[in-house]
């Protein structure tokens, strides 16, 4: 397997060679350095702080600001489907070697399976060591099961066959309009493979799609100018609606979850990053604006288009980014998996339900399956937890009412962990494919080199 040639960075013009579509580039004009207050991460940070203050001192006003956050999320979701479709389609079509597509997908899913399962194990271990629910002595009969009835119903609706059928859209265009990432994935992969099989005859269509892709990424940059407003509204609503006072009652659980997630990111994923040849701390710093946006909106989807663009600019090949990032958003939910086992054991401990080692392993096994079954479902963390507890009768499903009040605050940590996990997965798979210049990547994420423009790479042909 030959090491791929890395094609330089900058603006795509859509030229082709005989065997595989590549991109020619023109030099990127150096931009004037922004002042400190002009950076997105600073603006979002200020917006989050302002939202917390408004929500705390004026709860009614904070709740009334919910439409600001909702409107921004809707704007982002408006562009997610076309961005994913265009990124995957152009990435696969430019590879031409369809065996390489299968190879990348196989490596990505192997990574997802291992680390998402490891996240479940880490959550289980920490819950047993820290025991955040010990001593609460809650009587399950005193809990109001109606509060979690809606999540339980959605959990029962989630099945393997239903999940597989939901991946197939009613029509080609409906995959773009219904907001289901899995449906967009299916359509984009099939369309990209079909375009690749056309060879040179498909070159004009590929060039057109690449031009449209540039338009959508420009649209993303316009939408992101509203990110501070969206983060302000979402954070003001969260604090105003749920109040920081709710954290006091379950501070142990929330602190344990944040600690466990940090442990997983900086120790487990950090070790994987070190093996792959980069620093997890540098990567987190490189993605600080996107992470603050995820924190402010409690949604990893809000930064999905920016993650795709920044990973490409740092040197990850478009075909790999296009396959790994959107797929990871459905199947590589490290934060959600940590939450599932940790929350399940917290409920058991709070209700004085003793779980034997065998029952805990059963819980782990069920969680491994149910976490995949709820991929792509809105509110997957809470719904998947309900699905898991409904299959493991030892732990009362009504116990979920205990954590409902702080779930919104834990959702932020889930989203952050999921986001970082998918960023690491993309770089690692790029490294496994020998399709990334790690020296340049390290320089870019450490701010020692200009991220300039999108970088593409020709993947090595399959052996």
Over the range 371-387, which residues count as b (16 or more CB within 10 Å of their CB) and which as e?
Answer: bbbbbbbeebbbbbbbb
Work out the pLDDT band at 355, boundaries 50, 70, 90: confident
pLDDT of residue 19: 37
123-149 residue pLDDT tens = 999 999 988 888 777 776 666 555 555
CB atoms within 10 A of CB 173: 10
Question: Rounded distance, CA 118 to CA 271, Å?
Answer: 13
On whether the CB atoms of residues 289 and 430 are closer than 8 A, the answer is: no
Question: Rounded distance, CA 238 to CA 445, Å?
Answer: 32
Report which of residues 15 and 303 the model is more confident about. 303
Question: Residues of the chain with pLDDT > 90: what percent?
Answer: 27
Question: Rounded distance, CA 92 to CA 95, Å?
Answer: 5
* Residue 121 CB partners (closer than 8 Å, separation 6+): 341, 364
Instruction: State the burial class of residue 316 (Cβ atoms within 10 Å of its Cβ: 0-12, 13-18, 19+).
Output: buried
User: Could you give phi then psi for residue 243, rounded to 5 degrees?
Assistant: 70, 140
pLDDT of residue 283: 95
User: Could you give phi then psi for residue 218, rounded to 5 degrees?
Assistant: -65, -40
What residue ranges define each of the domains in the chain, with the CATH number in brackets?
13-457 (1.10.3860.10)
On the question of pLDDT at 268 being above 90, the answer is yes
User: Could you give phi then psi for residue 47, rounded to 5 degrees?
Assistant: -65, -40
pLDDT of residue 2: 40
In the chain, DSSP finds a helix count (H) and a strand count (E) of 22, 3
On the question of pLDDT at 11 being above 60, the answer is no
- pTM more than 0.75: yes
H-run or E-run covering 291: helix 288-297
Report which of residues 362 and 10 the model is more confident about. 362
Q: What does the CA dihedral 263, 265, 267, 271 come to, rounded to 10 degrees?
A: 170
pLDDT of residue 217: 86
Question: Residues of the chain with pLDDT > 70: what percent?
Answer: 78
On the question of pLDDT at 284 being above 90, the answer is yes
Instruction: State the burial class of residue 356 (Cβ atoms within 10 Å of its Cβ: 0-12, 13-18, 19+).
Output: exposed
Work out the pLDDT band at 12, boundaries 50, 70, 90: very low
Return the SS3 of 95: helix
76-132 residue pLDDT tens = 888 888 888 888 888 888 776 778 888 988 999 999 999 999 999 999 999 999 888
Question: Rounded distance, CA 352 to CA 100, Å?
Answer: 52
């Amino acid at each position: 397997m030959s090491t791929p040639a890395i094609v330089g960075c900058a603006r795509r013009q859509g030229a082709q060679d005989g065997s595989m579509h590549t991109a020619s580039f023109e030099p990127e004009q150096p931009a004037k350095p922004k002042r400190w207050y002009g950076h997105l991460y600073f603006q979002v940070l200020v917006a989050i702080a302002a939202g917390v203050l408004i929500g705390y001192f004026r709860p009614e006003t904070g709740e009334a600001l919910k439409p600001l956050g909702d409107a921004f999320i809707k704007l982002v979701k408006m562009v997610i489907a076309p961005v994913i479709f265009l990124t995957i389609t152009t990435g696969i079509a430019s590879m031409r070697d369809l065996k390489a597509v299968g190879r990348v997908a196989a490596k990505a899913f192997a990574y997802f399976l291992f680390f998402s399962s490891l996240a479940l194990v880490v959550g289980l271990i920490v819950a047993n060591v820290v025991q955040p629910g010990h001593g609460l002595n809650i009587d399950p009969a005193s809990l109001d099961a109606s509060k979690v009835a809606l999540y339980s119903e959605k959990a029962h609706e989630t099945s393997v066959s239903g999940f597989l059928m939901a991946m197939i859209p009613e029509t080609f265009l409906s995959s773009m309009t219904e907001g289901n990432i899995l449906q967009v994935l299916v359509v984009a992969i099939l369309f990209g493979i079909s375009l690749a099989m056309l060879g040179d005859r498909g070159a004009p269509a590929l060039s057109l799609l690449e031009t449209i892709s540039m338009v959508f990424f420009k649209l993303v940059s316009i939408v992101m100018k509203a990110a501070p407003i969206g983060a302000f509204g979402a954070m003001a609503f969260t604090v105003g609606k749920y109040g920081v006072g709710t954290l006091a009652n379950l501070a142990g659980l929330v602190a344990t979850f944040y600690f466990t997630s940090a442990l997983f990111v900086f120790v487990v994923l950090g070790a994987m990053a070190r093996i792959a040849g980069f620093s997890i701390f540098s990567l987190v710093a490189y993605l600080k604006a996107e992470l603050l946006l995820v924190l402010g909106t409690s949604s990893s989807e809000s930064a999905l288009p920016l993650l795709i663009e920044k990973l490409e600019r740092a040197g990850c090949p478009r075909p790999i980014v296009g396959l790994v990032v959107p797929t990871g958003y459905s199947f590589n939910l490290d934060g959600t998996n940590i939450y599932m086992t940790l929350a399940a054991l917290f409920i058991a401990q709070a209700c004085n339900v003793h779980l034997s080692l065998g029952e805990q392993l059963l819980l782990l096994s069920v969680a491994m399956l149910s976490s995949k079954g709820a991929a792509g479902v809105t509110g997957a963390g809470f719904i998947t937890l309900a699905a898991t507890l409904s299959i493991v009768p030892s732990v009362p499903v009504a116990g979920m009412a205990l954590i409902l009040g702080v779930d919104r605050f834990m959702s932020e940590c889930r989203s952050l962990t999921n986001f970082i996990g998918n960023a690491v997965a993309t770089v690692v798979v790029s490294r496994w494919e020998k399709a990334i210049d790690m020296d340049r990547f390290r320089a870019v994420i450490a701010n020692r080199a200009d991220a300039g423009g999108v970088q593409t790479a020709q993947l090595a042909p399959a052996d």
